[in-house]
Structure 1
Amino acid sequence: MQNASKNNKKIIGCTLYFIKPRGHLYDCYYYPFVGMDEEALRGLNPVSDPQLQRRALQYFEQLKSLDSGWKLCAEAFVNGSYHGNDHVKFFCLQVIENYLKTGYSQANLDDHQNIKSFIARCLQLQGSEGTQDRSFIRNKIGQIISLAFVQDYPHRWPSFFTDLLQTVSPNHHSIDIYLRVLLAIDSDVVDREIVHTAEEFQRNTLIKDAMREQANGQLAGTWYEILTTYETSNPEVVCMCLDVIGKFISWIDINLIANDKFVTVLLNFMTLTLIRESACDCITDILNKGMDPIVKTKLVESFTNVLEERGILNPVEDEEGDFLAKLSKLVNAIGVNLILAWQKLLKTEDKENTEATLQALESKVPLMFRFLSDEDDDVSGAVAQFSQEYIALLKQMKPLSQKQRENMEGLLYIVIKKMTYDESYDFEHEGEEEAMFQEYRKQLKTIFNNLAALDAQLIIVTVHNILTQTLPNWERVDQLETELAISLLYQLGEALPEKENDNRNFILQATQGQHFSGDLTKASVLQEMMRLLITSRVSCQGHMSVMLQFFETVVRYDKFFSVEPQHIPDVLMAFTDERGFRHRSAQVRSRASYLFSRFVKGVRSHIHNYVEEILQRIQDLLVLNTPDNGYQHLLSSDDQLFLYETAGSLIVCSNLPSEKKQTLMKNLLSPIATKFESLLTKLVAETNQEKQLAYAQSINTATALASRVSKGFSSQQTMQVCGCVDTFTDLLRLFLQAVNVPIHRQLIHTGVRQYLHRMVVCMEKEILPFVPVVLENLLKQPDARELHDFLPLMNQMIMKFKNAISPFLQEVFMPLVSTIYQVLTTPTDELDQVTANDKKMLQRSYYLFICTIVANDVLDVLKNQDMQNLNQVLITFIQGAVDIPDPQSQKMCFNILRKLVDSWGGNDGMAGFVDFMYKSIIPACLMAPMKPSFDLNDGQTSLALGECSNCLREIYGKRGDEMIQYLQSEYLPTLQLSQQQTEEFCQVLKADSKMFRTYFKNFFMKAKS
C-alpha cells in the first residue's frame, strides 16, 4: 500500500494500488477513489470558458510534475468514474504517457509492477463487451502499452507477449485492442519514416531479435486465427489484422506468412468486397519484403500466377476505383521487385536465373499497360514507378528486342493519351481535383522525358506526327487535343538530350533552341514544328488552356525567332490583342504580361522596328489602377509591373535617337505623373479609412511602376546616354511630396525609398540633392523600422559615390546618429516584441552603416566631426562590442574598431585616438568575451571573437612593443593574471594571427570554465 504525502493529499487522495501477483498477470485492487480536481477537469471540454481551460492546462502540468500524478490518473481511468467522458479519459492517458516517456526508465520495482497492473486492467476493460471506447482512446492505450514495452522488453518484462495473449478474449473488442497494441509497437520499433537515435536503433534491434526468437511464431498463429474466425463476422478486425501483417512482414521470417495456409486465406480475401483492399495491401507488403533475388522472383511469380488464374489481375471495366488503385499498386510492386531482382542477378554470373527473371518481368508489361491506361488517374499513377523503372532497365539493354521496342511505343502512346486534360477540368477555377491532375501530369512528363532519353528519334517523330495532324486542323479538332499537341512541343525542350548521342545529328539538331538554323535545308524538325505553330494560326483558337500553352512555348523557343524573325510580328500581335493582354481570362492576361517581358528580352535585337507600334498598342493598359476608376483595368497592378518594365526596356534598347527615347519615356511615365498629385490630395482629404488605404496603395504602386521602368537601363545604355535624367528627376520631385503625408506613412515611404534605390543605380550625382528631403522628414518623426529601412539607401550611395558624398554625409551624420540613438533609448513596453526586434535590427543597421563608411574610405566623415561628437560615436562602438548581446553587431563593431586602428592608430594618425585605443579598445577586446551572453560555442559568436582577436593584432601591428609594455605593466595585471599567463599572452600576440586566434579562444574557454 502506498500513501500520498500530506502535501499531496488534497490532490491525490488516499491509497492507490495494492498489487497481488497471479502467474504472469497482475490484479489491481483499488480503494474508494478520491481526489481529482473536478473543477479543473471541466475545463477539458472544448466549449468551456477560457479561464477553465487554462485551469485544466495548469492541472495537467501539475499532475505531470508530481511523482504520484500518473497513479491518480491511472486509478481514475480504470475505476469507471469517468465512463463516457472521453475528454477526461484522454487527459488521464496523456499524463500516464508523459510519465512513460520521461520518468518510467528510472522506475522502482513497485512502479514497474503498477504499470504492468494498469496495462493488464486496461486490456481486460477494453476486451470486455461492456466497454465501447472510441478509436482515439483505444489508439492511445495501444501507444501507452507500446511505450512500456520498448523500455521493459525483453529484460524487465520477458513475458510481455505471453501476458498480452493471456488477456485476449474470444471477442472482437479484445482482438481490436490487441491489434492496436501491435500497430503501436510497429510504430515505435520498426517504422522507417520515424527518425530514431543511435541508442533507440540499438534498442529496437535487440527487441526485434528477441521477438524473432520468442514471439513471432506465436503472433503469426494468432493472426491466422483472427483472419479465419472473423472473415465474415467482423471485416474491420480482419482488415486491421492484415494491416498488422503487412507492417510486420518487413522484418519477420517470410515463411511465417508466405505459406500455403496464409496464402490461401489472402487469395480468398481478394474476392471479398469488404476485405479485398486490405488483402491487396498485405500482399503488396509481402512482395516488397527484402530477400534473395531468386527467392523473390519465385515468390512474385507464384502470387502473380494464382492471381491471374483467378482473374483478379484482369478486373471488369466497371470495377470499383479504390480497389483498382490497390490492384495497380500491387502490379507496381510486382514489376518493381522483379526489376530489382534482375538488377541484383545482373551483377552475378547466374545467367539462367537472370534471363528467367527478365522474362518474368517482360510478361508483366501488359499488366502495367492495362493499369497505366486506366481512365482513373489514381489507378494509372500507382504504376508510374514500374513504368519509370522499366524504361531505366531498357537503357541497360542493348540492342533492344523488337518486343521491347513495341513496349516503348505502347508506353509512349499511353502516356500521351493520359496527358490530355479531362473535359471536366475547370481551367478558370482550379481546385483540389485540378491540382491532383497537375501532379499526375508531372509524373507522366517524367516518363515522357525518360523515353526521350532512351529514344529521342521516336519522341520527335511521334510529336511531329501529332502536331502535323492537329495544328493545321485546329478549328475542327477538340481544344484539349490542341492543347496537348502544343504541350508536347513545349515538353521537347526538357525531354531531348543536349549533347550528341550515337552520332544522330537529326536528334542533335532538335535540341532545345540551340540548333535552329537560318539555312532551311539544315533546319531541324523542331524548327519545322515551331514554324507550323505560328503559321497555323492556332493562337486564334481562344481557349485559355491553348493560349497559355502557346505563349509558354514561343517563349521557351525564343531562339527560333532569331533565325526566322519574320514570325515575330505575329507573336507580338498575339500578345497585345484579345489573345493575350485582352483575353477574357484574367489568368491568361496575367501570365501573358510576364511571358511578354521574357519574350522581348529574348528577341530584343530583332524588334527595333516594332518598338513604337508596341508602345502604342499597350498604351491603354498602362493607366494607373486607382480607387476612382474602380480597378476596372484588364491588368492588375502586379501585371503592370512586368508591362512597365518591358516598355522601359523596349525604349532603352531601341535604335532610336536619345531625343526620341526621351519623348517615349515621358509618354510612358505620364499616366503616373498625371494621377500622382491628385492621389496625394485625395488621400489627405479622405476620412474613410478603407479609401485612405486604397489611395496609399495606389501611390505605392505608382512609385513601384516607375521603379520597374528604370530597370531597362544598363551600363551601356545609361539614363544619361538615353537623355532621360530629367524625366526621372521630375518624377522624383513629384514623389518626394509624399514623404510629408502622415497617413499610411510606412507604405508610402517604402515606395519612395524603392524609387530612390533605383535612381542611385541609374543616376550619377544628380540624385544627391534629393536625399536630404527624405532624411529631413525622417528625422522629424523617427521610427525604428523606417530608420532601419532608410540606412541601406545611405549605404548604397556611399558605396557608389564614395568621397563625392563626403560633404553631404558630414552634414547629416550627427543628426542621423543622434536620431538613431534617440529611438534606441526610448522606453518601450517590455512585452512589445515587435518594437524590440525593430530596435535590434536598427542597431545592426547602424553598425553596418558605419562599416560601410569605414570600408569605402569615407573616414573624413568621422574625422571632421566635433571632437566631443566623435568621442560619443566611438563609445557606441565600444558599447556595441561589449554590452550588446548580439554577435552580429559585436562582429561589426570589432571590425569597425580594427579598421579605425589601421587608419588612425599610427604615429601620424588621428589626434587622441592612440589614447582611446589603450583606454577603451584593448579593454573592450578582453571584456566582451567574458560576458555571460558571449557564447564561445556559437558559430556567430566565434566570428565576433575572431574579429576581436584581429583587432588586438592590428593594435600590435601599429604600436609594437609599446603595446606589449602596456599590457605587461599596466593592463593585464589588473585582470589578476599571473606573470606566466601575462608573458604567455604577450608572446602569442606577437606570433602570427592564426596562432593567436586559436590561443585567444582557448584563453577565454579556460577563463570561463
Structure 2
Amino acid sequence: MACQSVCAVMDEQALLGLNPNADAPYRQRAMAYFEQLKASQDAWEVCADALANGLYSDDHVKFFCFQVLEHQIKFRHAGLRSAQQQLIRETLMKWLQVQLMNAQPEKPFIRNKAAQVFALTFIMEYLTLWPKFFFDILSLVGLNPHGVDIYLRTLMAIDAEVVDRDILHLPDETRRNTLIKDHMREQCIPNLVESWFQILQTYQQSHPELTCQCLEVVGAFVSWIDLNLIANDRFVNLLLSQMSVEELREEACDCLFEIVNKGMDPVDKTKLVESLCRVLQAAGFFHVEQEEDVDFLAKFSRLVNGMGQGLVLSWTRLAKTGNVKDTADTLQAVEAKVPLLLQLLVHEDDDISANIVGFCYEYLHVLKQLPQLTDQQKTNIEAIMLAVMKKLTYDDEYNFENEGEDEAMFVEYRKQLKMLLDRLAQVSPELLLEAVRRVFNNTMQTWQTTAFMEVEVAVRLLYMLGEALPASHGAHFTGDTAKTSALQDMMRTLVSCGVSSFQHSSVSLEFFETVVRYDKFFLVEPQHIPNVLMAFLDQRGLRHNSPKVRSRVAYLFSRFIKTLHKHMTAFIEDILTRIQDLLELAPPDTGFTALLTSDDQLFMFEAAGVLIVNAECPAERKQALMRSLLLPLTDAFRLLLAKLPQETQDDRQAALADCLSHAVGFASRTSKAFSNKQTVKQCGCTEVYRDCLQTFLPALSCPVQRGTLRSSVRSFLHRMIICMEEEVLPFIPAASEHMLKDCEAKDLQEFIPLISQIAAKFKQQVSPFLQQVFMPLVLAIFGVLARPAEDNDQAAALEKQMLRRSYFTFIQTVAGSGMNEVMANQGAENIERVVFTIIQGAVDFPDPIAQKTCFLVLSKLVELWGGKDGMVGFPDFIYKHIVPACFLAPLKPTFDLSDAQTVLTLSEVALTLKMIHLKRGPEFIHFLQQEYLPSLQVSPEISQELCQVVQQPDIKVLKSYMKAFFQRAKL
C-alpha cells in the first residue's frame, strides 16, 4: 500500500487519547494527530489500511479512522490521486466484507459513521467513478443481516445528503442532487425496490429491527421515485400484513403515511387512498375502540390524518377544475372517513386526538365552502362540537399549582381544539351557539354537585365564544338578535348562579376571565356589578388561597375597573377601603407576607387611580382620596431611605432599594389614570404629586444602590413631565444635578431622553435651564466616553456606542427645538468643541445610525448659523470642516453603500450639501469647483457635473447622483 512508505504504523501513543477517560495531554495529542492525518497528502492512508485489514479492535480507534476518511472524501476528494480514490473504494468494500463474516455487528455509532462515509463516497463518485455503487454493494451483501444493516443505514445517509428538504443546499449541490436522483431513477431504483421487498419479506420474523429500518428507507425514498413501484398489490399487501405484527406495525404505519403523502394527480390520489382504506377497513383497523396499543394508534391516527388531508387537497383541486363527478366522488370519500375521524378525535389519549386535528380542521373548511349543508353534515358538525367540548376537559391528574411538561402539552393541545372551535363557528355559528348554551345551562344548574373539570369547561366554552363568534355577536350586548340574547342569558346565569364560589382554582380563574372578556355585558345590565365586585374583592378573587389566582385576578380587576368605572361611583370609597391592605408596601424582614407580588400591586394601584380620577365628586375630594392612597407610600419611603445607607449587607441593601423602587413605581402607576379630559390639575392632585416628587428626589443622592434608585426616580419624572405639565419644572434642575454626579454610561444614556423630553415639551420655558445644564451634561458624556476600557470588553464598547448615539440625538433635539440660544450662548470655545464632536461622529465612527444623526445636526446648524446674518466665523467652519465631512465620510472603506442604513446616511449628506448651497449660494459652488474638489483629484468635468446637480431644485436627483459618485470613487 502507498501509505507504508509514509507511515507504516499509526501513532499508538496518540490513539490512547481517543478513550473518553483519557487525561487531557493524551486527548490533546490525539487531536493534534487527527489534524496531522487530515492535512497530509497521504498519511491518512494508514487509517484506510487499518479499516480494510481490521487491525484494531478498539471502537474509538475504528471511529477515528472513519472520521479521517470522511474528511478526505468531504473536503479533499477532487485533489486525491486516482489510486487514492480507488484505495477508498477498496477500503470500504473490504471493511464491508469483514462485517459479513463477523459473528457480532459493530456498535451502532460505528455503523452510522461507516454509512455516512459510504454515502459521501457515493455522492462524490456515483455520477463518474462508481456508477455500479449499489450493484456492487447488493451483490456483496446479498441477504446477510450485518450487510443489509449497513446497506439500509447507507441509504438513509444518502437520503439525508441528497433528498432531505429540511437541509439547506447550495445551488451547485442542488443541481448535483437532481442529477443523482435522475441517474438513480434510470439505472437502479427498480433493483433497490426489489431489494427492499426481499428484505421486508425475509426478515419480518427473524430480524424485526432490520424490517423497521427497511420500512423507514421505503418511506424516505417514496417521495421521489415512481409510486407504482411501491403502491402495487404485492408491496401494499406486504405492508398491511406488517401492520398486524406488533414489532413492525408502527414503522409500517409511518411507511404507508409517506406513500399517501406523496404528491400526485388528485384522481389518482383519491383512488390510492380509497383502495388503502378498503383494505385497512377489511383488516379491522377501523375498530379503534378495540385497539389497546396507544403508541400504534397515535401512528394510525397520523396515517388517517394524512389520508384525510390528501382527499381534501384532491377535492379542492378538482373543485377548481369544475370536474363535477370526480369532485362529488372525492367529497363522498372524505365524508366516509368522518366516523373514523370522530373515533380518533374523541379518543382519551390526547396524542391520538391531536394527530387527527389537521384533517378535522380541513374537513370543516370544506363544509364552509359548500352552498348548503345536508342533515348528515350537520350531524357531523354537532358530533365534532361534542368531541371538542369533551376533549377540552382537564383530567384528574392535571397539576394546577405546579405545571410541568404534561400540563404544557395539554395547554398546546387545547389551542388546537380552540382552532377547531373557531372553524366550527365559521361553518355554523347557530349550531355552535346552541351546543354551548345547552352544555353551559345544564352544567350551571347543577354546578354544586358537578366535577370541577365539567364546570371549568362549561365556563371556558362561554369564554371561547367571544373569539369564535364574529364581534357583532360576542362583543356587543345590544339589539335583539338570537345570538346576542343567548350570550346575555348565559352571562346573567354565570354572574347570578353562585358558580363564582366554586372551590377550584381553574373554575375561579375561568369565571373572572369570562367576566372581563364580556365586560360590555355590565353596561347593559349594570345591576350585576356589585355582586361581581364582591367576588373580585373577597376570597373568591383577590384573597383566594391560590397565589396564581390572586395574581391573575389583580390584572383582571384593573381591566374591569377601567371599562366600568362610570358605574362604580357609589362604591369607590368602599372598594378603596377593602383593598387598602393589598396596597401596602412590604418592607423586607418584617415577617409580613403580602397576598400580592409587587408586580400585581401595580395593577391594584392603577385601578385605585382610575376609580379616584373618574369619581363624580369635587376636586377637593379627589385630592383627599389620592393623598390617602399615596401618603402611606411616601411615609414608608422616607423611613426606608434613611435606613438604606446604614445597611452594611449587600443583599439587605438590594432588598431595601427594591422596596423603595416599588414605592416609586406604585405612585407612578396611579398617574396612568389621568387623561386630557381629567388632568392632574383639574382633579386637584398637583400638590399630592408635588409632595411625592419632594419625597422621592433625595434618593438620587443616596450613596448606595444608585442604579436601582435613579432608574425608578427617573421613570417617575418622565411620568410627571407628562402629567404635571409646568408644575414639574422647579424640580428638574436639582434632579439633573444629582443625576450628573458620578454617572456611568448607562446612567447618562437613560438621563438624555429625560432632558430631550423636557426640551421637546416645554421649549422656550426651559431654555434658561437647558443653557445652564448643556455643558455639564456634554462634559459628563465626554468624560465617560474618554474613560479607557479593556480591548475585548464587548459590553463596555456597546454601552459607549449607545451613549454616543444618545449624545448625538440630544444635540439634534436641542438644535431642532427652535432654541437656537441654548447652543449659541455656550461661548465660542464650547460651541467649537461640540461641533467638532459632531464632525468626528459623522466621519470617524463606522456607525451609520450615529452618522445619519450627525449629518442631520450639521444640516440644522448650517440652517441656523450659516446664512449672511448667522454666527460670526461659522461660514469658515463650514468650508474647513462640514464640506470635507460630506466627502470624507462616504469615502471611508467602512461606509458600505450596499447597507440600507448607510444609504440613509448618504441622503443626509446630500441634504447637508443642499442646505450649504441654500445658505451660501454661488460662493459655495465656487469653493467646490475651484478649491475643494480639485484637492481630491476630481476631474474638472466631474466637478462641474456635481456642482450642476447641487444647484438643481430636485433633491432626489442629488441623492441618486451622490450614490453613483461615491460608488465610482471607490472603484
Range of TM-score over shorter length: over 0.9
Q: Deviations over 1:569-623 (max 9, x none)?
A: 1111111111111001111001001111111112122222222111111110011
Cα deviation, residue 920, structure 1: 0.5
Whole-angstrom distance in 2 between the partners of 1:664 and 1:828: 52
Q: Which letter does structure 2 place at the counterpart of 1:184?
A: A
SS in 1 for 2:396: coil
The one of 901, 909, 912 equivalent to 2:870 is: 909
Cα deviation, residue 307, structure 1: 1.6
Give the match for residue 256 of structure 1. 229
Is residue 2:364 matched to residue 1:381?
no
Pairs within 5 Å for 1:918-929: 918-929=879-890
Distance 1:715 1:1006, change over 3 A: same
Give the match for residue 27 of structure 1. none
Question: Which of 164-173 and 750-759 deviates more?
Answer: 164-173
Whole-angstrom distance in 1 between the partners of 2:494 and 2:44: 74
Q: Judge conservation of contact 1:576–1:582 (CA < 8 Å) in 2.
A: yes
Cα deviation, residue 375, structure 1: 0.9
Whole-angstrom distance in 2 between the partners of 1:36 and 1:958: 82
Is residue 2:7 matched to residue 1:34?
no
SS in 2 for 1:648: helix
Cα deviation, residue 158, structure 1: 2.1
Is residue 2:414 matched to residue 1:438?
no
Whole-angstrom distance in 1 between the partners of 2:777 and 2:330: 79
Question: Which of 146-155 and 122-131 deviates more?
Answer: 122-131
Give the match for residue 1004 of structure 1. 966
Cα deviation, residue 94, structure 1: 4.8
Give the match for residue 906 of structure 2. 945
The one of 838, 851, 870 equivalent to 1:877 is: 838
Pairs within 5 Å for 1:631-780: 632-780=593-741
Is residue 2:587 matched to residue 1:613?
no
Give the match for residue 849 of structure 2. 888
Cα deviation, residue 122, structure 1: 4.8
Give the match for residue 536 of structure 1. 497
Whole-angstrom distance in 1 between the partners of 2:440 and 2:115: 60
Distance 1:369 1:661, change over 3 A: same
Q: Judge conservation of contact 2:476–2:484 (CA < 8 Å) in 1.
A: no
Whole-angstrom distance in 1 between the partners of 2:892 and 2:130: 51
SS in 1 for 2:312: helix
Distance 1:536 1:190, change over 3 A: same
Cα deviation, residue 137, structure 1: 3.5
Distance 1:980 1:34, change over 3 A: same
Give the match for residue 239 of structure 1. 212
Q: Deviations over 1:207-265 (max 9, x none)?
A: 21111111111111111111112111111111111011011111111121122222222
How high is the TM-score relative to the length of structure 2?
Answer: 0.95
Whole-angstrom distance in 2 between the partners of 1:735 and 1:81: 80
Distance 1:471 1:105, change over 3 A: farther
Is residue 2:428 matched to residue 1:455?
yes
Q: Which letter does structure 1 place at the counterpart of 2:17?
A: R
Q: Judge conservation of contact 1:127–1:175 (CA < 8 Å) in 2.
A: no
Q: Deviations over 1:322-349 (max 9, x none)?
A: 0111111122122222222223333345
Distance 1:911 1:422, change over 3 A: same
Q: Which letter does structure 2 place at the counterpart of 1:84?
A: D
Is residue 2:456 matched to residue 1:483?
yes
The one of 765, 787, 811 equivalent to 1:804 is: 765
Whole-angstrom distance in 2 between the partners of 1:980 and 1:788: 47
Whole-angstrom distance in 1 between the partners of 2:237 and 2:345: 28
Percent identity (aligned): 48
Is residue 2:804 matched to residue 1:843?
yes
Q: Judge conservation of contact 1:44–1:56 (CA < 8 Å) in 2.
A: no
Whole-angstrom distance in 1 between the partners of 2:378 and 2:261: 28
The one of 234, 239, 242 equivalent to 1:266 is: 239
SS in 2 for 1:747: helix
Is residue 2:58 matched to residue 1:84?
yes
Q: Judge conservation of contact 1:888–1:944 (CA < 8 Å) in 2.
A: yes
Q: Judge conservation of contact 1:847–1:893 (CA < 8 Å) in 2.
A: yes
Q: Deviations over 1:898-930 (max 9, x none)?
A: 111111111011111111000000011111112
Q: Judge conservation of contact 2:505–2:546 (CA < 8 Å) in 1.
A: yes
Question: Which of 420-429 and 146-155 deviates more?
Answer: 146-155
Unaligned runs of 5+ in 1: 4-13, 17-30, 499-507
Q: Judge conservation of contact 1:276–1:323 (CA < 8 Å) in 2.
A: yes
Q: Judge conservation of contact 1:125–1:131 (CA < 8 Å) in 2.
A: no
Q: Judge conservation of contact 2:886–2:909 (CA < 8 Å) in 1.
A: yes
SS in 2 for 1:240: helix
Cα deviation, residue 81, structure 1: 6.1
Question: Which of 868-877 and 145-154 deviates more?
Answer: 145-154
Is residue 2:316 matched to residue 1:355?
no
Distance 1:274 1:800, change over 3 A: same
User: How many pairs were matched up?
Assistant: 970
Q: Deviations over 1:53-90 (max 9, x none)?
A: 6776676666655555765665666665664343x655
Q: Judge conservation of contact 1:270–1:312 (CA < 8 Å) in 2.
A: no
Give the match for residue 222 of structure 1. 195
SS in 1 for 2:491: helix
Q: Which letter does structure 1 place at the counterpart of 2:476?
A: Q
Question: Which of 619-628 and 201-210 deviates more?
Answer: 201-210
SS in 1 for 2:449: coil
Give the match for residue 143 of structure 2. 170
Q: Which letter does structure 1 place at the counterpart of 2:786?
A: T
SS in 1 for 2:579: helix
Whole-angstrom distance in 1 between the partners of 2:674 and 2:838: 39
Cα deviation, residue 878, structure 1: 0.6
Unaligned runs of 5+ in 2: none
Q: Judge conservation of contact 1:43–1:54 (CA < 8 Å) in 2.
A: no
Cα deviation, residue 951, structure 1: 0.9
Give the match for residue 21 of structure 1. none
Give the match for residue 371 of structure 2. 398
Q: Judge conservation of contact 1:848–1:892 (CA < 8 Å) in 2.
A: yes
Distance 1:942 1:688, change over 3 A: same
Q: CA RMSD in A?
A: 2.4
Q: Which letter does structure 2 place at the counterpart of 1:548?
A: L
Whole-angstrom distance in 1 between the partners of 2:711 and 2:97: 68
Cα deviation, residue 352, structure 1: 3.5
Whole-angstrom distance in 1 between the partners of 2:813 and 2:228: 73
SS in 2 for 1:312: coil
Distance 1:877 1:320, change over 3 A: same
Q: Deviations over 1:737-770 (max 9, x none)?
A: 2222232221221111111111111112222232
The one of 753, 777, 795 equivalent to 1:816 is: 777
Q: Which letter does structure 2 place at the counterpart of 1:1000?
A: M
Q: Judge conservation of contact 2:686–2:724 (CA < 8 Å) in 1.
A: yes
Give the match for residue 20 of structure 2. 45
Q: Judge conservation of contact 2:126–2:133 (CA < 8 Å) in 1.
A: yes
Q: Which letter does structure 2 place at the counterpart of 1:311?
A: G
Q: Deviations over 1:300-320 (max 9, x none)?
A: 222222222221221454611
Q: Which letter does structure 1 place at the counterpart of 2:413?
A: Y
SS in 2 for 1:195: coil
Question: Which of 183-192 and 152-161 deviates more?
Answer: 152-161
Is residue 2:949 matched to residue 1:988?
yes
Cα deviation, residue 168, structure 1: 2.4
Q: Judge conservation of contact 1:753–1:790 (CA < 8 Å) in 2.
A: yes
Give the match for residue 344 of structure 2. 371
Pairs within 5 Å for 1:7-406: 15=5, 32-35=8-11, 38=14, 42=17, 45=20, 48-49=23-24, 83-86=57-60, 90=63, 93-94=66-67, 96-104=69-77, 109-124=82-97, 127-129=100-102, 132-168=105-141, 170-315=143-288, 317=290, 319-348=292-321, 350-406=323-379
Whole-angstrom distance in 2 between the partners of 1:403 and 1:776: 79
Cα deviation, residue 46, structure 1: 7.3
Distance 1:1001 1:2, change over 3 A: farther
Whole-angstrom distance in 2 between the partners of 1:631 and 1:544: 24
Cα deviation, residue 445, structure 1: 1.5
Whole-angstrom distance in 2 between the partners of 1:44 and 1:995: 69
Distance 1:523 1:924, change over 3 A: closer
